[in-house]
Chains A and B, each alone.
Chain A
Amino acid sequence: MNTTIMLFLVQDGITNGAIYALLGLALVLVFAVTRVILIPQGEFVTYGALTYASLAAGQMPGTAKLALALGIGAFAFDLFVARKALHGRLILRSVLANVVLPAIVLALTIYFAAQKPPVAICIALSLVIVAMIGLYLYRIAFQPLAHTSVLVLLIASVGVHLALQGLGLLFFGAEGQRGPAVLSGAFTAGALRFTGQSITVYAITVAFIVGLWLFFGLTLYGKALRATAVNRLGARLAGIRTTLSGQIAFLLASVIGALSGIMIVPITTLYYDSGFLIGLKGFVAAIIGGLVSYPLTAVAALVVGIVEAFSSFYASNYKEVIVFMLLIPVLLLRSLAAPAVEEEKD
């Protein structure tokens, strides 16, 4: 093997690894705050990517309608839960957030889809649509189960994943799509060629990680999210609503997922079901980080990306197998290092 190929593979691995890092961080965040293992994270990726690609191709994405439908569902849940103590302000707030907002976005999507909008508008619409889907899914599928065990939440999570994947087939069809590059052009440095798209991936990943770090370290809401993750009862006694923390976590996860998708889809053709494997690789990184450590997850994600790049070069048929095999020694080590624990204490 010569150095050039190696450099290419490392570069490729880092580009992919950066995306796995974002997804892994989102998984750790959601798990720490809500105890949900977010299997549908991959669907946020495909929904973001394919919504973006559809819009850029001048097609109307079905996800905008799904957001409205889920929003109406979330509104119905809000009404049902508050049925004994309904008051005007609560209803108004819920209507605005769950019905009016997705309706406006749907109208905008219909308007813009007809006229092949510029890239910036495609990105903005895709992010908002997927963010709303994430938020309403939390309201409908996870918030009512918030007090149950990790296993029940996991089953709900798998259910949501399957439902979203089926809907993805309905919305986008079985054919893959590619989207336009966010930043076109390229330059070479030595043997390496950097495309605008890969630079975008690095820049956005770094910006997001720094942004999250500032959010968690400096803002009151970020600290509240951490507090909920550290001690749920303590957070409630401080007046921090578990549901608010859950909403923020899901909002961040869906935005991160959609953003990852928008960054990948100009590089790779994505299908309605591609998200699952991409999400799983983020999950591998999160597991290596023990579902608690953000820095370890980010580093593990880069390793996953690089291992994937090298194995697709040397043994492309086995590349997924090799990536997932990374888990076995990690799980072995962790099970040896950690004492046996009771089912869960909360």
Chain B
Amino acid sequence: MSALLSVTDAHVAYGKVEAVRSVSLEVGANQIVTIVGANGAGKTTLLSAIMGILPLKGRVAFAGQDLSRLDIEDRVAMGLGLVPEHRELFVTMNVEDNLELGAFRIERSKAKASMERVYTLFPRLKERRKQFAGTLSGGEQQMLAMGRALMGEPKLLMLDEPSLGLAPIIVADIFRIVTELRASGVSVLLVEQNAQAALKIADQAYVMELGEFVLSGKASDIAANERVAASYLGFQHEGSTGL
């Protein structure tokens, strides 16, 4: 079976500075794939380019279709969703309106059912559905950003640093929901600095350093790799500096 998302030889540049160099990756159906790496490795840049926010040189295909001529909105309509690092919520609108707008490209009749599903995944959002998005806590905002993206019924959800700045208990919650998503048929491409948690739930993993993938393979193998363990998992081996 062909991959849901396949990126081949992608380059992304800010002016003359290449932030992502010759990167290839695949996400299959019902898979969690993670990209781990240090701050500034180019992970966010790569996700933005796959979504169409930044121009990308190379080939990106989603569900067998070439994306190069499609803009962000078309990619959303095809079933590609992104929860960006800064969440980009509609802060002066309430939770319910935020969710409703997430289903802008979905038939009205289906949107109601989607909202119930999101509320089942995130009961906290239901409690706060009349509250302005800007007044939510960081964790709730992350849930709302994920909920809004899920309202668009994505086949692949790309999550950019969902655990950033959140309390450990909420992070655990969010990672649990990511695995639930896989079970319900949504693939996830997860970008994380919290490599330990990401590798635990992922099927496949890529390690990114200075704009390039330096390692890839099954997540369990990557987690067992000594260099990765030293650099990203916080286990100090002899002679390694850690990060």
Contact = CB atoms under 8 A, between A and B. Distances in A.
Interface stretch (B101-109, B198-206, B211-219): B101-109
B73 A231 contact: no
B93 A238 contact: no
A237 B101 contact: no
Contact of B69 (A85, A227, A230): A85
Interface in B142-200: 148-149, 151-152
Contacts, number: 64
B101 A223 contact: yes
A239 B82 CA distance: 11
Residue in A224, A227, A237 with the greatest tally of chain B CB atoms within 10 Å: A237
Contact of A226 (B76, B88, B93): B93
A231 B93 CA distance: 11
Contacts of A236: 72-73, 76
Interface residues of A, number: 18
Given A85-B69, A239-B73, A240-B73, A231 B90 contact: yes
Contacts of B91: 230-231
Interface residue tally of chain B, by bracket? 20 to 34
Contacts of B73: 236, 239-241
B88 A227 contact: no
B84 A235 contact: no
A237 B98 CA distance: 12
A223 B97 contact: yes
B77 A234 contact: no
B104 A220 contact: yes
B101 A227 contact: yes
A240 B92 contact: no
B224 interface: no
B85 to A, nearest CB: 11
Contacts of A224: 101, 104
Interface in B80-125: 81-82, 84, 87-93, 97, 100-102, 104-105, 108
A233 interface: yes
B90 A239 contact: no
B76 A237 contact: yes
A233 B88 CA distance: 7
Q: Determine chain A's interface SS by DSSP, over half rule.
A: helix
Contacts of B97: 223, 227
A234 B69 CA distance: 21
B60 to A, nearest CB: 16
A227 B99 CA distance: 11
Nearest to B99: A238
B53 A238 contact: no
B56 interface: no
B51 interface: yes
A89 interface: no
B88 A220 contact: no
B184 to A, nearest CB: 21
A238 B152 contact: yes
Given A223-B93, A230-B90, A231-B89, A240 B51 contact: no
A205 B114 CA distance: 38
A237 B47 CA distance: 13
Nearest to B105: A239
Contacts of B100: 220, 223
Contacts of A227: 90, 93, 97, 101
Contacts of B102: 238
Contacts of B149: 237
Nearest to B52: A236
Given A231-B90, A239-B77, 7 more contacts: A224-B101, A231-B89, A234-B87, A234-B88, A236-B73, A239-B76, A239-B105
Interface of A: 84-85, 220, 223-224, 226-227, 230-231, 233-241
15 contacts: A220-B101, A220-B108, A223-B93, A223-B97, A223-B100, A226-B92, A227-B93, A227-B97, A230-B92, A234-B90, A236-B73, A237-B51, A237-B84, A238-B102, A240-B73
